[in-house]
Amino acid sequence: GAVVSQHPSRVICKSGTSVKIECRSLDFQATTMFWYRQFPKQSLMLMATSNEGSKATYEQGVEKDKFLINHASLTLSTLTVTSAHPEDSSFYICSAPRASDYYGYTFGSGTRLTVV
């Protein structure tokens, strides 16, 4: 149980376009979703925290107007990279605390974004 489905797994887009990444909790309600970014050979860095029905909380240095996060339902959180640039190319991954396990977290499978 406690599966988070993340799509797409890979996406290549042109500079200036927008890309939407979806994370769906399949068998539990995710009131919170954490969005991480991982550059090659680096660690996972928290970008923002989305909470269902309220505005996302962004980490310092993350542009909220560029990385739009929507958490409109208990099973879906989306990250939209707007006006993408090559430096946005990265591995984006979502993670949700598991309600059934007070200390557990479930990760999506990640999205490899390449901006050309």
Footprint of other proteins (CB under 8 A): 32, 34, 42-46, 49, 91, 93, 95, 97, 102-105, 107-110, 112
Question: Measuring CA to CA, which residue among 116, 113, 115 is closest to residue 11?
Answer: 113
The distance of closest approach from Cβ of residue 108 to other proteins in the complex, given in angstroms and rounded to an integer, is: 7
The distance of closest approach from Cβ of residue 16 to other proteins in the complex, given in angstroms and rounded to an integer, is: 26
The distance of closest approach from Cβ of residue 83 to other proteins in the complex, given in angstroms and rounded to an integer, is: 25
How far apart CA 40 and CA 65 sit, in angstroms, is 24
Residue 39, number of CB atoms within 10 A of its CB: 12
Sheet strands side by side (includes 4-7)? 4-7, 19-25, 76-81, 67-73
Q: Which is nearer to other proteins, 83 or 100 (CB)?
A: 100
> 31 to each of 14, 35, 75, how far by Cα in Å?
33, 13, 8
The distance of closest approach from Cβ of residue 75 to other proteins in the complex, given in angstroms and rounded to an integer, is: 18
Q: Which is nearer to other proteins, 5 or 80 (CB)?
A: 5
How far apart CA 49 and CA 3 sit, in angstroms, is 18
Q: Which is nearer to other proteins, 87 or 102 (CB)?
A: 102
Q: Which is nearer to other proteins, 11 or 91 (CB)?
A: 91
